[in-house]
Homo-oligomer: A and B are copies of this chain.
Amino acid sequence: MRGTGKADIFVMLAHPVGHAKSPGILNEIFEQKGLDSLMVPLTCRPEDFETFWAGLTAAENIRGVIISVPYKVAVYHKCAAAHDRAARVQSANSVRRQADGSWYADNFDGVGFIDALKAAGHQLEGRRVLQVGAGGAGASIAYCLAEAGAEEIRLADIDKDRAETLAGLVGKAFPKCRVQAGEADPTGMDMAVNATPVGMHASDPLPLDVARLTPDMTVVDIIMEPAETALLKAARERGCRVQPGRPMMDYQVRGMSEFFDIDRKDRNHG
């Protein structure tokens, strides 16, 4: 039976949380594996975050938390230690309880993105990538693209300072990768990535100049709903290889499941 008094408790925190996909996905995994564990979607208003987080930390049997907008940075700063993937973007999308009760941060946004591309047979080493979006998920992805061996990354963002700053940081961390801020123009690139929320709504503009896509390019969107965004549709019609957002989530969930060690046998309950 799932959800007894001895259940391992995980939380998914976002505001709002109703549209979050990870609680349903994780709970389905727990059920399929026959684990007495629950992934609990919780939400709080930004002005209540400090109070909420203190209370969550006091709940001794909460083993881990998945974090989404707008709390990734705030939660990162609550952690006592972090994986380099989280530290370099100062942002946590997963935290787990350490033996002393404090939190350890990690961030699977970029890893999930890379793993999903690799699983679909995409080569990243030596590639030139246009990435649109230098926000939270975008920062995580840019670092991981450079880490995966991309030769060049062109970062475009409506906030040019943000793109410049991120380009500088990623280039410094991975000097073999040429990283520069630029326009949302895929000309000369092997891959174009949308790492913005532009495309979630039917009325959204296209996040990049699709007229300049050529059939040799791969186009990736991190948006999960709709499954085929206007960008992916336009890219497909132009003969590009396309990669939707859902596999990135699935590979993130795989990373989180390992991070949380959901199968562990040595359960210890309050």
A99 contacts the other chain (CB 8 A): no
Pick from B26, B43, B59: contact of A42, CB under 8 Å = B59
Selecting from A15-23, A172-180, A256-264, the interface stretch reads A15-23
Question: A54's closest neighbor in chain B, by CB?
Answer: B51
Interface bits A35-48 vs B (CB < 8 Å: 1, else 0) = 00011111111001
Q: How far is the CA of A18 from the CA of B268 in the complex (A)?
A: 9
Q: How far is the CA of A131 from the CA of B168 in the complex (A)?
A: 75
Identify which of residues 211-226 in chain A touch chain B, using a CB-to-CB cut-off of 8 Å. none
Known interface pairs A58-B44, A59-B43; A18-B1 also in contact (CB < 8 Å): no
> Is A17 in contact with B2, judged by CB distance below 8 angstroms?
no
A4 contacts the other chain (CB 8 A): yes
Selecting from A6-14, A158-166, A181-189, A236-244, the interface stretch reads A6-14
- Return chain B residues, CB-CB under 8 Å to A21: 5
Q: How far is the CA of A42 from the CA of B58 in the complex (A)?
A: 10
Pick from B1, B12, B24, B54: contact of A27, CB under 8 Å = B1
> Is B38 in contact with A40, judged by CB distance below 8 angstroms?
yes
Q: Which interface class (under 10, 10 to 19, 20 to 34, 35 or more) fits A?
A: 35 or more
Interface centre among A15, A26, A39 (most CB of B within 10 A): A39
- Return chain B residues, CB-CB under 8 Å to A16: 269-270
A53 contacts the other chain (CB 8 A): yes
- Return chain B residues, CB-CB under 8 Å to A23: 3-5, 7
Q: How far is the CA of A20 from the CA of B3 in the complex (A)?
A: 11
What would 29 A/B residue contacts be, using CB atoms closer than 8 Å?
A2-B27, A3-B23, A3-B27, A3-B40, A3-B41, A4-B24, A4-B41, A5-B14, A5-B17, A5-B18, A5-B19, A5-B20, A5-B22, A5-B23, A5-B41, A6-B18, A6-B41, A7-B23, A7-B40, A9-B40, A16-B269, A18-B270, A38-B38, A38-B40, A44-B59, A45-B60, A52-B58, A52-B59, A55-B58
A contact residues vs B (CB 8 Å cutoff): 1-7, 9, 12, 14-24, 26-28, 38-45, 48-49, 51-62, 269-270
Starting from the known contacts A3-B23, A15-B270, 7 additional A-B residue pairs (CB-CB under 8 Å) come to A3-B38, A5-B14, A5-B17, A7-B41, A43-B60, A52-B55, A53-B55
